[in-house]
C-alpha cells in the first residue's frame, strides 16, 4: 500500500484524492477550507484543516515519507509555488504540482516539482486527438468492476509469446492491444504468436482485482530496476 498527500481540495484535488483512496492507497487530504476538508473526509485516510503555507506544520506531517504529494492549490500561484518549495526543502521525493499556465509550470519545476500538470490543456489535447484520430479503445463499453490498463511487460513476460504466457488462463486478463515503441506501431488484438519485447506496452482488459495483480507484477519490475 502506498501513501500520498493531496494539498488543495478544489475539484481537481478532490478527485485525485478520492481516486487514490479508491485504488487502495493511504491518502492524507489537506486544505485550509473546513468545508472542502469535510467533503473529502469519507474518501481519504485522514482529512486535515491546515494552511499548507506554514512550513513547520507541513514538516510535522511527515510528508517526506510519502510516495508522493500532489499540490493543487487552484489559482493561488504564489501559494502553490511556496508550498512546492517547502515540500522540496523538507525532503519530499515526488511532488506533483498543478499549474494554471506555462509560466507557472516553469516556476514550479524550478522550485522542486518532480512533474507539473496542466489539467485543462491535457484534457483539451486528449479530446482533440480523440476527435481527429479516434482510437478503438475509447469506445469499449466497460461494465462495473472491469478496467483497461497500459503496462510495461514484467521481466517474466519478455521473450515469450502470448500463447506461452497464456495470460487469460493464468491471470484472467486479455491483451487487447500492444503498442510497439521500436518501431512505433499499434497492434490491435495481437495473435497468440506475438512475442513480447521489453520496449512494448501491453494494453490489458480484465476485472479490477486481476488487473491490479498484473499492475503489481509491473511495480515489482520497477523496484528491481
CATH number at residue 178: 3.30.70.1450
Averaged confidence pLDDT in the chain: 86
pLDDT recorded at residue 185: 85
Question: Is residue 19 included in any domain, yes or no?
Answer: yes
Question: Is residue 130 included in any domain, yes or no?
Answer: no
pLDDT recorded at residue 222: 47
- Looking at the DSSP bridge assignments, the partners of residue 116 are 97
pLDDT recorded at residue 76: 86
Collapse the DSSP code of 92 into the 3-class scheme (helix H, G, I; strand E, B; otherwise coil) and give the result. coil
State whether 56 and 163 are in the same domain: no
State whether 114 and 147 are in the same domain: no
CB atoms within 10 A of CB 25: 17
User: Which three cell numbers, joined as nine digits, stand for 180?
Assistant: 510497439
**Paired sense of beta strands 46-49 and 26-31, if any:** parallel
Question: Is residue 202 included in any domain, yes or no?
Answer: yes
Number of helical (H) and strand (E) elements in the chain, helices listed first: 9, 10
Tally the domains of the chain. Answer: 2
What residue numbers bound the domain in which 142 lies?
136-224
Does the predicted TM-score (pTM) go above 0.85? no
Mean pLDDT of 127-156: 64
Mean pLDDT of 4-9: 97
**Is the pLDDT assigned to residue 95 strictly greater than 60?**
yes
Question: Is residue 131 included in any domain, yes or no?
Answer: no
Lowest pLDDT segment from 11-20, 45-54, 136-145, 192-201? 136-145
Alpha-carbon distance values, 59 to 6, 64, 93, 163 (Å) = 15, 8, 14, 52
Give the C-alpha separation, 67 to 18, whole Å.
16
State whether 9 and 89 are in the same domain: yes
Give the C-alpha separation, 138 to 119, whole Å.
19
State whether 147 and 183 are in the same domain: yes
Amino acid at each position: 500500500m502506498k501513501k500520498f498527500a493531496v494539498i488543495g481540495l478544489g475539484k481537481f484535488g478532490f478527485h485525485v484524492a478520492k481516486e487514490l483512496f479508491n485504488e487502495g492507497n493511504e491518502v492524507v487530504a489537506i486544505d485550509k477550507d473546513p468545508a472542502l476538508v469535510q467533503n473529502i473526509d469519507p474518501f481519504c485516510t485522514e482529512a486535515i484543516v491546515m494552511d499548507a503555507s506554514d512550513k513547520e506544520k507541513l514538516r510535522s506531517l511527515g510528508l517526506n515519507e510519502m510516495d508522493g504529494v500532489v499540490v493543487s492549490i487552484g489559482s493561488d500561484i504564489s501559494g502553490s509555488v511556496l508550498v512546492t518549495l517547502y515540500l522540496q526543502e523538507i525532503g519530499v521525493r515526488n511532488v506533483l504540482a498543478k499549474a494554471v499556465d506555462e509560466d507557472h509550470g516553469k516556476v514550479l519545476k524550478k522550485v522542486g516539482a518532480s512533474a507539473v500538470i496542466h489539467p485543462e490543456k491535457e484534457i483539451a489535447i486528449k479530446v482533440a486527438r480523440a476527435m481527429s484520430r479516434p482510437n478503438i479503445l475509447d469506445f469499449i463499453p466497460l461494465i462495473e468492476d472491469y478496467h483497461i490498463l497500459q503496462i510495461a511487460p514484467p521481466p517474466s513476460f519478455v521473450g515469450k509469446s502470448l500463447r506461452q504466457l497464456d495470460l487469460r488462463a493464468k491471470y484472467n486478463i486479455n491483451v487487447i492491444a500492444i503498442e510497439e515503441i521500436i518501431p512505433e506501431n499499434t497492434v490491435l488484438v495481437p495473435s497468440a504468436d506475438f512475442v513480447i519485447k521489453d520496449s512494448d506496452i501491453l494494453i490489458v482488459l480484465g476485472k479490477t482485482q486481476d488487473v491490479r495483480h498484473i499492475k503489481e507484477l509491473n511495480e515489482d519490475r520497477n523496484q528491481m530496476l
